[in-house]
Amino acid sequence: MLTRKQYELLVFIDQHLRRTGCSPSFEEMKEGLDLKSKSGIHRLIGALEERGFLRRHKHRARALEVIRLPLDSVPHERAPENAPERVSDQKFAPNVIRGDFSARFQGARAAAEVAAISLPLYGRIAAGQPIEALREHQTEIEVPIALIGQGDHYALEVTGDSMIEAGILDGDTAIIRKGETAENGQIVVALVDDNEVTLKRLRRRGNSTALEPANARHETRIFPAERVKVQGRLVALMRRY
């Protein structure tokens, strides 16, 4: 199972080898994947080696060998070893996984064969009283592709019991599609006063916005519309037993 960046780097290296007969430099890989530092490339290569997709030959400069590719990649004949090295003028654009989720998977075959994808886990969100959002950008979670549609997504851990009648329990992982708009009745991530975040059902009327729980023991909270910003809407849940 590969993360998006691991997949992109593996395909980038393989395509460069086929085109030039030489593995790309770390600078070329950094630019091809739009990363800010070479340290990220080192980590990705190490992960690909551990998973058996890539081999790095010691004591040889720029000596990378692709051992195998994911099933959705079609093999081609490699370029001869003495082929001259050429650096592509274009940024790397993978065939299957794009830079945003809206075009990440093309076709049913890719969706079926790539079982999961990594999403950022942004911490805990209250299904009870609002709590300050925790942004943990270095944390990721593997999510089945079947749960994700078009758009950009992230995950949040649910705390509290105010949404239990909607089937959302304490400890669930909420899969959120990013966006600033939602229809009345949809369950959304709502940012209140720019520093508190909560998961509630959205109701709008005139200049007021109501954040409605799904638990009779909790009260609906009503705010002036300008105090509430939609950060995304719930599209799926993950639960561990």
Tens of pLDDT, residues 160-177: 999 999 999 999 999 999
Contact call for residues 45 and 12 (beta carbons, < 8 A) = no
Instruction: Report pLDDT for 25.
Output: 87
> Residues 104-132: pLDDT tens digits?
444 444 444 446 788 888 878 877 665 55
Percentage, residues of the chain above pLDDT 90: 30
Query: Which residues span the domain enclosing 208?
Result: 116-238
Count of other CB atoms within 10 angstroms of residue 57 = 11
Residue 186 has pLDDT above 90, yes or no: yes
- Give the CATH number, domain containing residue 39: 1.10.10.10
Catalytically active residues are 162, 200
Query: Is residue 103 domain-shared with residue 135, that is, in the same domain?
Result: no
Residue 93 has pLDDT above 70, yes or no: no
- Give the CATH number, domain containing residue 147: 2.10.109.10
Domain boundary among 49, 79, 113: 113
Contact call for residues 204 and 161 (beta carbons, < 8 A) = no
Query: pTM to 2 decimals?
Result: 0.52
Query: Is residue 78 domain-shared with residue 187, that is, in the same domain?
Result: no
Residue 201 pLDDT grade (very low, low, confident, very high; cuts 50, 70, 90): very high
> What mean pLDDT is predicted for residues 17-43?
85
Q: Rounded to whole angstroms, how far apart are CA atoms 169 and 173?
A: 9
Query: Is residue 108 domain-shared with residue 17, that is, in the same domain?
Result: yes
Q: How many domains are there within the chain? A: 2
Domain boundary among 80, 113, 146: 113
Query: Is residue 84 domain-shared with residue 179, that is, in the same domain?
Result: no
